[in-house]
Amino acid sequence: MLDPTAAVVHSPKSAAAAAGSFIWNLPRNILILLLLAYRKVVSPLYGQVCRFFPSCSAYALEAVTVHGAVKGSWLAARRLARCHPWNAGGVDHVPAGHREWPENRTPRIVVLNNPDKYLAAQTDGEGRTAA
Amino acid sequence: MDFFETIMFPFKWLVSIIMVGFHEGLTAIGLPAASGWTWTLSIIGLVLVIRAALIPVFVKQIKAQRGMQLLQPDLKKLQDKYKGKTDQLSRQAMAQEQMAMYKKHGTNPFSACLPMLIQMPFFFALFQVLSGVSNASSSGQGIGAMSANQVQQFDKSSIFGAPLSATLLHGTPPGGNEVAVWVLSILMILAMTASQFITQKQIMAKNMSEEAMASPFMRQQKMMLYILPIVFGVGGINFPIGVLIYWTTTNLWTMGQQFFVIRRMPTPGSPAAKALAERRAAKGLPALPILGGKKVDAEAEAAAAAAVAQARTQRTQPQRKNRKKK
């Protein structure tokens, strides 16, 4: 069932378009890697300090994933500026973007940052497989 | 001037003016201007200024943690709601509801990243000032608020024969004692990592609520407890003696602050809080009032005080037995 060439073949894009989109997405993907590394290595050092849900690094990761490098960084910077001891904190989601993902391939961070939205979907799915 | 330098410029200036201020003050009370010890005390002064400026942030955090007691019932309800749900998405949903609850009650136990972030540019600035000293000294320039004369003086100054601008890895400027640099660097790296380790260990062993201990972050954090000293130890060999003085002092401050917190204002629900409650009970003092809820609880407090007064009169009773024996 798993055909490694499926992803390449089913895309009608030319190699040039693929290279173009690779370059276009490169800044975003570099930022995503940096943020993932930060969340894996640096975040655990401090434990939870953030006054918001999602935490600033989770917010930044989602913002860059959903909105791209430029707008995502801007959103993340604004969130960091909001995150200080005199802000009450609370729930503060990344604004919805226009990017769409194929079924079951929503980035993990988007799922984790919007638990109420995806938790309902997940329990539905579980119910179906159980039945 | 590149982007990074432009951002760092005001911090470098601030760091150097605080140090120069302390240096002038210390020489005014009679310390030798060219001595490395005077400059060492100036660096310690810089730490004291930065950490003292952060005290309001720290106090606010402690108050918020106390305020948490008020929402214990709601927190308990939330925990019951998610009891047994250990998958990551449910945990996230719980975290979200918990944050919403903090906001509703206007209290939040987390301090945000500002206190940490704000120290970073100062640290970088100090690093730049101290590691730039040798170059600026040979080219006769000033750094930030430090005049060219002061830079040269700083460059020549040393403690125990170790120049303040020397690093273990990148060598000792001429005239410095290399053995002294090695010994001092290693001693300070040890002091710095040990104080950090002790602080973290104390927090984990005594000042964490049961919920925090059970969280999935805990294992990662326990691992970091051992990895972190290695990271700082390796980093430390790149730091000039002056930066090591700064870092060691600031870590010692954190450790002292943490001891104070664990003893006097522990996190509700932590072993330290239980210990404090027991100590207070043994002394016959009322349980700690909850900050923020003081006005509402005035009556309850009065009742508690009355109860304590009663307890005190009762406690004198055993003395009668003693008298009988005699």
- Assess if residue B213 is contained within a domain: yes
Report chain B residues whose CB lies below 8 A from the CB of A49.
110-113, 116
Half-sphere exposure of B111 (CA within 13 A, CB side): 18
With H, G, I as helix, E, B as strand and everything else as coil, classify residue B105.
helix
Taking an 8 Å cut-off on Cβ atoms, the answer to whether A44 and B110 are in contact is: no
Q: Is B221 on the interface with A (CB under 8 A)?
A: yes
Give the per-residue SS3 of A10-65: HCCCCHHHHHHHHHHHHHHHHHHHHHHHHHHHCHHHHCCCCCEECCHHHHHHHHHH
Longest distance between any two alpha carbons in chain A, whole Å: 54
Q: Give A41-97 pLDDT, tens digit per residue.
A: 777 766 677 888 888 889 999 999 888 888 999 999 998 888 887 787 888 888 887
Stretch A17-38: mean pLDDT: 88
- Assess if residue A125 is contained within a domain: yes
Q: Give the contacts of A104 (CB within 8 A, at least 6 positions apart).
A: none
Phi-psi region of B295 (alpha: psi -120 to 50; beta: other; left: phi over 0): alpha
**Domain that residue A99 falls in:** 16-130
**Domain that residue B72 falls in:** 3-83+95-278
Which one-letter DSSP state was computed for residue B285?
P
Q: Which residue of B has its CA nearest to A54?
A: B96
The span from the CA of A98 to the CA of B219, in Å, is 37
- Assess if residue B295 is contained within a domain: no
Please give chain B's pLDDT, 326 residues, in tens: 577 778 888 888 888 888 888 888 888 887 777 777 888 888 899 889 988 888 887 787 777 767 766 777 788 888 888 887 777 788 888 888 888 888 887 777 777 777 777 778 887 888 788 777 777 777 777 777 777 788 788 777 777 877 777 777 776 666 667 788 888 888 888 888 888 888 878 777 777 766 666 666 666 667 777 777 787 788 888 888 888 888 889 888 888 888 888 887 777 677 787 888 888 888 887 776 554 443 444 455 555 555 555 555 555 445 554 554 44
- Assess if residue A2 is contained within a domain: no
- Assess if residue A6 is contained within a domain: no
Contact B66, B265 (CB under 8 A): yes
Report chain A residues whose CB lies below 8 A from the CB of B90.
115, 119
Q: Is A45 on the interface with B (CB under 8 A)?
A: yes
Taking an 8 Å cut-off on Cβ atoms, the answer to whether A115 and B92 are in contact is: yes
- Count structural domains, chain A: 1
Confidence band of A127 (pLDDT split at 50, 70, 90):
very low
- Assess if residue A8 is contained within a domain: no
Range A7-31 burial, b when 16+ CB lie within 10 A, else e: eeeeeeeeeeeeeeeeeeeeebeeb
- Assess if residue B162 is contained within a domain: yes
Closest CA to B308 of B286, B324, B282: B286
- Count structural domains, chain B: 1
Report chain B residues whose CB lies below 8 A from the CB of A89.
99, 102-103, 108, 110, 112
Counting every residue, how long is chain B? 326
Q: Is A123 on the interface with B (CB under 8 A)?
A: no
- Assess if residue B65 is contained within a domain: yes
Q: Is B100 on the interface with A (CB under 8 A)?
A: yes
- Assess if residue B323 is contained within a domain: no
The span from the CA of A55 to the CA of A36, in Å, is 13
- Assess if residue A10 is contained within a domain: no
Taking an 8 Å cut-off on Cβ atoms, the answer to whether B112 and A91 are in contact is: no
